Amino acid sequence: MHRGRVILDVRDKEKGRLKVDDLLVRFYEVQGEAFSSDRMLLA
């Protein structure tokens, strides 16, 4: 979620392969801006 919206829906198989860097790239692709805090991502 970002600003109250779901921005990425990851399926179970893909979820197991994703790394933090992959999520940050996907966030940027969807939102067009960098993720400001990885603490929130890892919570």
Q: What is the pLDDT of residues 14-42, one digit of tens each?
A: 888 988 888 888 878 887 767 666 666 56
- pLDDT score, position 26: 83
- pLDDT score, position 1: 54
Specify whether the CB–CB gap between 35 and 41 falls below 8 A. Answer: yes
- pLDDT score, position 18: 87
- pLDDT score, position 39: 64
Q: What is the pLDDT of residues 3-14, one digit of tens each?
A: 677 777 888 888
pTM: 0.53
Both tokens of 36, joined, read 């400001």
